[in-house]
């Protein structure tokens, strides 16, 4: 079922200089957009949207895609971080890789009074399929610029602003992060997040590490070094057209990591260059135990290092859209 989008979420596109400008919205009927009911349908993927509250500021210029799986407490803190952004001209798409009802309830609680459009895109739990979940989130996004992060990463107040300020066609933006300890993560209260207390946890050691990675990234970008700079799915952005040019994430990566680096490698082959924001503590990664399912595919290294790598993912956005 297609729906007429809210007036407060008009899309923007770049002019030749790469700056985001107004345009009339394209017909969203070509993008999957079905409405879920009050109960979670376990028979297949579902999309549960919520229109923004009257507090929304300005038209929607970008979509923030957040991946998550059964971490409702961490996701709650992360959404609080997005509610306090310095600009509110974005929407959030929760790309859910099969979480239980606790995650759904967390999102519904925020949807009741969230300052921007907040959409829950869920797929059945079939092992670790982050690539597929994020691609599905992109298919349900309404804008032409995409910011990617994870549901366990609290954004700094200017996270969205910094990505939009750096947005250029034919380039992807990659940024840094700060790891929060187990103790610091456990001590984070809703009030502390609303006040932005977590941003004071950046030490001089953190800043030195970020500056060092940023300096190396600038050198790698200038010299065109292969498979650099360092790239994590918790902090990057790219124009939708460039993401579609490489067919999004490769869903061949299942029960393993490397899908993020593989995307970077293919974007490089497509001539999409990097912009570094590594010197900025863009997101704060909350402590949690590792995902054991990420170690399930023993052949990941062989596939990642294959000699016939090409720009387009063999199993990506288009293939997923054909199945929807």
Residues of the chain with pLDDT under 70: 1-58, 291-295
pTM attached to this predicted model:
0.84
Query: What digits encode the pLDDT tens for the residues 78-101?
Result: 999 999 999 999 999 999 999 999
The H or E element that residue 124 is part of is none
d(C-alpha 62, C-alpha 51), whole Å:
15
Question: How do 171-175 and 273-277 pair as beta strands?
Answer: parallel
Give the pLDDT score at 319.
96
Q: Which residues contact 122 (CB under 8 A, 6 or more apart)?
A: 36, 40, 45, 46, 47, 48, 96, 98, 99, 104
Give the pLDDT score at 51.
52
In a domain, 85, yes or no: yes
Give the pLDDT score at 36.
31
Give the pLDDT score at 288.
87
- For residue 198, give both structure tokens: 């977590």
Identify the CA nearest to 66 among candidates 45, 96, 106.
96
In a domain, 1, yes or no: no
In a domain, 2, yes or no: no
Q: CA-CA distances (angstroms) from residue 40 to 35, 65, 102, 300? A: 11, 21, 11, 32
Give the pLDDT score at 256.
82
Q: Are 250 and 313 in contact (CB under 8 A)?
A: yes
The count of structural domains within the chain is: 1
In a domain, 283, yes or no: yes
Give the pLDDT score at 17.
36
In a domain, 63, yes or no: yes
3-state secondary structure at position 75: helix
Residue with tokens 């790598």: 309
Q: Where are the beta strands (DSSP E) in the chain?
A: 12-14, 20-22, 46-48, 62-68, 90-96, 118-122, 145-150, 153-155, 171-175, 177-179, 236-239, 273-277, 283-285
CATH number at residue 245: 3.90.550.10
Residue 135: domain span: 7-323
């Amino acid at each position: 079922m297609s729906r007429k989008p809210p007036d407060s979420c008009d899309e923007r596109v770049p002019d030749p200089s790469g700056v985001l400008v107004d345009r009339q919205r394209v017909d969203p009927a070509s993008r999957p957009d079905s409405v879920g009911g009050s109960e979670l349908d376990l028979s297949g993927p579902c999309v549960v949207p919520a229109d923004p509250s009257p507090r929304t500021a300005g038209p929607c210029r970008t979509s923030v895609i957040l991946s998550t799986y059964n971490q409702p407490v961490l996701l709650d803190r992360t959404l609080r971080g997005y509610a306090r952004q310095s600009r509110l001209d974005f929407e959030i798409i929760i790309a859910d890789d099969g979480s239980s009802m606790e995650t759904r309830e967390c999102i519904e609680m925020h949807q009741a009074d969230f300052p921007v459009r907040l959409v829950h895109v869920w797929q059945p739990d079939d092992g670790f399929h982050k690539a597929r979940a994020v691609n599905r989130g992109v298919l349900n996004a309404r804008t032409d610029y995409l910011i990617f992060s994870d549901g366990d990463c609290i954004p700094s107040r200017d996270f969205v602003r910094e990505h939009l300020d750096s947005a250029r066609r034919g380039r992807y933006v990659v940024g840094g992060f700060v790891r929060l300890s187990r103790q610091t993560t456990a001590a984070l209260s809703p009030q502390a997040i609303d006040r932005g207390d977590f941003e004071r946890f950046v030490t001089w050691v953190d800043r030195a590490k970020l500056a060092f990675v940023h300096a190396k990234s600038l050198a790698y970008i200038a010299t065109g070094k292969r498979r650099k700079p360092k790239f994590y799915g918790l902090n990057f952005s790219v124009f939708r057209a460039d993401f579609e040019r490489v067919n999004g994430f490769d869903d061949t990566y299942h029960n393993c990591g490397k899908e993020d680096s593989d995307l970077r490698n293919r974007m490089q082959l497509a001539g999409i260059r990097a912009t570094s924001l590594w010197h900025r503590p863009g997101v704060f990664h909350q402590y949690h135990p590792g995902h054991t399912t990420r170690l399930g595919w023993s052949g990941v290294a062989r596939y990642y290092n294959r000699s016939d790598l090409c720009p387009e993912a063999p199993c990506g956005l288009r293939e997923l859209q054909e199945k929807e």
